[in-house]
Amino acid sequence: MIVAGIDIGTNTALMVVARVANDGTSTPIDDVYEVPRLGEGLDASGFISEASLQRAELAMMRFRTVLSTHTHPKVQAVATSAMREASNSADVQRRLENALGHPITIINGDDEARLTFLGAVGNRPEHTLMIDIGGGSTEYAVGVNGTVIGVASTSVGAVRLTERYAVDRPLSPMFQDNARDYVRNQISHLVQQYGQIEHVVGVAGTPTALAMIDLGLESFDPTQVDGHTMSTIRIGEITEWLCSQTLDELRSIPGLHERRADIVPIGALILHTSLESFGCESVECTIRGLRFGAMLTASL
């Protein structure tokens, strides 16, 4: 059976296509990455712009082309923060469904966190915290042995906070402090609620970008990035360096996608502040996430 999971986020649109065996094991065939930045300007305007929507439509058409190479795939497409919040969400959903050729489900933050935990963490035996830094929101989930104990979706997003706080580049210490204070305020209740954390898994583009920088990679190599562990101290060092760069300098960093480079400093700041708040010493990067959770539910 061929199944596909699609994650339509505020910044990226991601799709994994996999072959699922009778015993439930899955083997990825295609893993497609687009950066339409659907939620660009959404925090200020309250709606998804026509330019952003057209970029997202093109991404869905590319996904449709990939899906057309497989026979009767089962598809689970989910949309997150941008489409949860946009005043024109219904129209956006209709147009993206037409471009994709499959229904799209707008999921709430808790469901997003659970699906992401399922896709990224699975059945790990440790008391694991998952941090999924998106463009419009960051999801936190904690669980053990495949059981999710707690989930939370916050308005801590890399695109959202970049548009609020990264007004000038390099980022001033004042704006960095303001952004960190915002993150701490949003997650302070979770620190007590989640208790002692044994392991942390970082999901999505920010941990991937930081892993590539830490490894000195000039192009994405999933075999090296997936499972790469970085100390909180090292994340802090990279964050400080990224925040000191101009936009042109950020875009010249090998391996950083041109449409992602501007939000990586704030994404790194969110991750570092989160790790410090939870008292965690390190984070493991994973290339799996919501699209894998959606794919697994599509196979049920």
The residues with which 17 forms a beta bridge, in sequence order, are: 4, 30
Per the listing, tokens 């959770």 go with: 293
Which two tokens mark 40? 């660009």
Cβ 36 vs Cβ 56: under 8 Å: yes
CATH number at residue 95: 3.30.420.40
Same domain, 101 and 224: no
Residues 103 and 139 in one domain: no
Query: Which has the closest alpha carbon to 106: 132, 137, 131, 129?
Result: 137
Mean pLDDT of 229-254: 96
**Rounded to whole angstroms, how far apart are CA atoms 36 and 292?**
20
In a domain, residue 117? The reply is no
Same domain? For 161 and 256 the reply is yes
> What's residue 288's pLDDT?
92
Domain that holds residue 84: 2-109+290-298
Count CA atoms closer than 13 A to 94's CA, side-chain side: 4
The two tokens of residue 149 are 């104990």
Residues 127 and 142: beta-carbon distance below 8 Å: yes
Helix (H) or strand (E) holding 26: strand 26-34
- CA–CA separation, 218 vs 202, rounded Å? 21
In a domain? residue 236? yes
Determine, yes or no, domain membership for 229: yes
Token pair of 104 as six digits:
């799209």
Read off the pLDDT band of 174 (50, 70, 90): very high
- Whole-angstrom CA distances from 259 to 73, 82, 157 are 30, 17, 15
Q: Quickly state the pLDDT bin for 298 (edges 50, 70, 90).
A: confident
Candidates 132, 179, 85, 102; CA nearest to 292 is 132
Range 165-193 average pLDDT: 94
- The answer as to whether 114 is a domain residue is no
Q: Does a structural domain hold residue 83?
A: yes
Cα 146 from Cα 140, distance rounded (Å): 15
DSSP bridge partners of 31: 16
pLDDT greater than 90 at residue 146: no
pLDDT score at 38? 95
What is the side-by-side strand order in the sheet with 2-8? 26-34, 13-20, 2-8, 74-79, 104-106
**Does the pLDDT of residue 204 top 80, yes or no?**
yes
Closest to 271 measured CA to CA, from 242, 300, 294, 298? 242
Percent of the chain clearing pLDDT 90 (strictly above):
84
Same domain as 189, residue 136: yes
Q: Do residues 145 and 278 share a domain?
A: yes
Q: Could you say which DSSP state residue 263 is in?
A: G
Spatial separation of the C-alpha atoms in residues 48 and 67, rounded to whole Å: 26
Question: 220 in helix, strand or coil?
Answer: coil
Q: What is the residue whose two structure tokens read 């991750």?
A: 271
Cα torsion angle, 130, 6, 212, 123, sign: positive
Let me know whether 42 and 12 are in one domain. yes
Condensed to tens digits (0 to 9), the pLDDT of residues 117-143 reads 999 998 889 999 999 999 889 999 999
Q: Taking residues 141-157, what's their average pLDDT? A: 92
Instruction: Pick the closest to residue 119 from 299, 291, 298, 254 (CA basis).
Output: 291
Q: Are 43 and 6 contained in the same domain?
A: yes
> Residues 12, 101: one domain?
yes
Q: Is residue 115 part of a domain?
A: no
As a whole number, mean pLDDT of residues 197-203 equals: 95
Give dist(CA 147, CA 150) in Å, integer: 9
Domain count, the chain: 2
Residues 57-105: tens digit of each pLDDT: 999 999 999 999 999 999 999 999 999 999 999 999 999 999 999 999 9
**Entry pTM:** 0.87
Same domain, 217 and 82: no
Cα dihedral across residues 277, 256, 169, 241: positive or negative:
positive
Mean pLDDT computed over 216-234: 95
**One domain for residues 21 and 149:** no
Residue 160 belongs to domain with CATH number = 3.30.420.150
- CA–CA distance, 147 with 154 (Å, rounded to integer): 21
Does residue 127 lie in a domain region? yes
Query: Does residue 181 belong to any structural domain of this protein?
Result: yes
- Are both 205 and 104 inside the same structural domain? no
According to the model, what pLDDT value does residue 299 have? 72
Per-residue model confidence (pLDDT) at position 21: 85
Same domain, 33 and 182: no
